[in-house]
Amino acid sequence: MGKTLFDKVWDAHVVDTIENGPQILYIDKHLIHEVTSPQAFNELKQRGIPVARPHKIVATADHNTPTVNQHLPIKDALSRKQLTQLSKNCKENNIPLYDLGHKNNGIVHVIAPELGFTQPGMTMVCGDSHTSTHGAFGTIAFGIGTSQVAQVFASQCLLLQKPKSLRVSVNGNLKKGVLPKDVILYIIAKLGTNSGTGFFCEYAGNVFEEMSMEGRMTVCNMSIEMGARGGMIAPDQTTFDYVAGKEYAPKGEEFDKKVAYWKTLPTDTDATFDKEYSFDAADIEPMITYGTNPGMGIKITENIPDFNDSSFEKSLEYMNFKKGESLINKPINYVFIGSCTNSRIEDFRIAAAYVKGKQKATNVNAWLVPGSQKVAKQITEEGLQTVFEAAGFVLRQPGCSACLAMNDDKIPEGEYCVSTSNRNFEGRQGQGSRTILASPLVAAATAVEGKIIDITQHLN
């Protein structure tokens, strides 16, 4: 019987199998950041264990960093201490760090692909659930807890049960204005937030084949929001073209050899999955969420559903929405374009194309936060910054920012924020804040109109 893409990559990394127990999986690349690594470094230090493979680790500061005045000392004492600790730990253990201000600094899931660390067929981990992003390259990539960060530090391996396999296929033609973010929000709304738990998901079909790498990253990024540890898309020419020439990607003959191997990775035609779903691309429309988990999403033109369930009602009460209500024309004072889901150059091109020649609504505070220094530079070089500034927007500096509001980028209590991030949990963007997840196009349109509009009526 044939093998899936996931099987092929997983099986190539199994060091050993414990009888009636987990397998030892070898990890090719370990990404770390300031929030989930300090306790792991402490653990090793206390036990006198060295970091096994420092050259297989890459560090960046992103979760807890300011997005203005990055050249100045960080005001918040605890944040400053966490960043100092990261620098110290990396220095002591010879781990390369892209610290605040470095030309390669940025959100961990934005910088690893753009520097060529992310490559097809690899196993990658990070103490961050959105590590699933890297699956866009045909990589087994997943988030881990801090105890596991320590395990990878100590051995470059993890003890894991092989997850079950799931395939989500989307075929057909996407409608105008439907972006990769809408595709994944649609899938999660259809399947629910725990449909993928215990599974690794492969996305298949012409919709994903025709997507750019940026789009594929957006899709795989949100796999965890349906509970799947990771999502994957088969590597193809689009993947190889993206990886080619990146700073840390293989070069010349070595690259050609790798490509030959990467071409063997796609799922065999006779392989089977534990669970399969398929959707028609034509049914997908621009999406928004109305509740407090990413599965609570609707087409922007639909009304909030009417379920008789206490958790559902609690969620609507938090959002101050009513069953059966439409979100069109809801006034919105905050818009966030950023996060590891939607902060790549393509996302800013989409937003800029919409706002060009228009003006930001006066009631809106819009935070545009590039995913990395490289993205920020590209925004300037492509003239997008001029477009944004002419429309009344200000660009901030790279980081996770208002996606999780660990820094000062917090949405005030009771306010709605139309956000391109990945989670609309209670208080996710600041205590009492109310998040509405959407694509960069819907977010840009909201910023211009000062309210949610039916974007499908505004596309020429």
Partner 1 sequence: MEKFTKLTSRAVPLATENIDTDQIIPARFLKATDKVGFGDNVFRDWRFHKDGSLNNEFVLNNTNYSGSILVAGDNFGCGSSREHAAWALTGYGFKVIVSSFFADIFKGNALNNGLLPVQVSAGYLKELMAYLQENPTSEIVVNLEEQSIETAIGTATFDIDPYKKTCMINGYDDIDYLISKKDQITAFEAQNMN
Q: Which residues are near partner 1 by CB under 8 A?
A: 12, 15-16, 18, 20-22, 24, 26, 35-36, 38-39, 42-43, 47, 49, 63-64, 76, 78-79, 81-82, 85, 127-129, 143-148, 150-151, 154-159, 161, 193-194, 197-198, 224, 227, 229, 293, 310-311, 314, 404-406, 413, 423, 425-428, 431-432
Going by C-alpha positions, the residue among 286, 282, 241 that lies closest to residue 262 is 241
| Alpha-carbon torsion, ordered 24, 26, 32, 36, to 10 deg | 0
The least distance separating partner 1 from the CB of residue 70, rounded to whole angstroms, comes to 18
CA distance 383 to 388: 9
CB-nearer residue toward partner 1: 18 or 72: 18
CB-nearer residue toward partner 1: 187 or 284: 187
CB-nearer residue toward partner 1: 76 or 241: 76
* Phi, psi of 71, deg, nearest 5: -80, -15
End-to-end CA distance of the chain: 48
CA distance 279 to 52: 44
CA distance 290 to 307: 13
CA distance 448 to 363: 10
Contact 281, 170 (CB under 8 A): yes
CB-nearer residue toward partner 1: 310 or 460: 310
CB-nearer residue toward partner 1: 16 or 247: 16
Q: Which positions ≥6 away from 64 have C-beta within 8 Å?
A: 34, 35, 79, 82, 83, 400, 406, 407
CB-nearer residue toward partner 1: 38 or 235: 38
The least distance separating partner 1 from the CB of residue 398, rounded to whole angstroms, comes to 18
Sheet holding 29-32, edge to edge: 97-98, 57-60, 29-32, 123-126, 140-143
Contact 196, 163 (CB under 8 A): no
The least distance separating partner 1 from the CB of residue 367, rounded to whole angstroms, comes to 16
Q: Which positions ≥6 away from 333 have C-beta within 8 Å?
A: 363, 364, 365, 415, 416, 450
The least distance separating partner 1 from the CB of residue 310, rounded to whole angstroms, comes to 7
The least distance separating partner 1 from the CB of residue 56, rounded to whole angstroms, comes to 10
The least distance separating partner 1 from the CB of residue 145, rounded to whole angstroms, comes to 4
CB-nearer residue toward partner 1: 24 or 328: 24
Q: Which positions ≥6 away from 314 have C-beta within 8 Å?
A: none
The least distance separating partner 1 from the CB of residue 242, rounded to whole angstroms, comes to 23
Going by C-alpha positions, the residue among 96, 125, 105 that lies closest to residue 63 is 105
The least distance separating partner 1 from the CB of residue 380, rounded to whole angstroms, comes to 30
Name the pairing type of β-strands 57-60 and 97-98. Answer: parallel
The helix/strand/coil state of 111 is helix
Question: Sign (positive/negative) of CA torsion 312, 313, 317, 322?
Answer: positive
The least distance separating partner 1 from the CB of residue 52, rounded to whole angstroms, comes to 8
CB-nearer residue toward partner 1: 161 or 457: 161
CB-nearer residue toward partner 1: 150 or 174: 150
CB-nearer residue toward partner 1: 274 or 280: 274
CB-nearer residue toward partner 1: 113 or 127: 127
Structure tokens, 261: 């191997």
CA distance 58 to 56: 7
The least distance separating partner 1 from the CB of residue 225, rounded to whole angstroms, comes to 8
The least distance separating partner 1 from the CB of residue 21, rounded to whole angstroms, comes to 3
The three state secondary structure string of 52-101 is CCHHHEEEECCCCCCCCCCCCCCCCHHHHHHHHHHHHHHHHCCCCEECCC
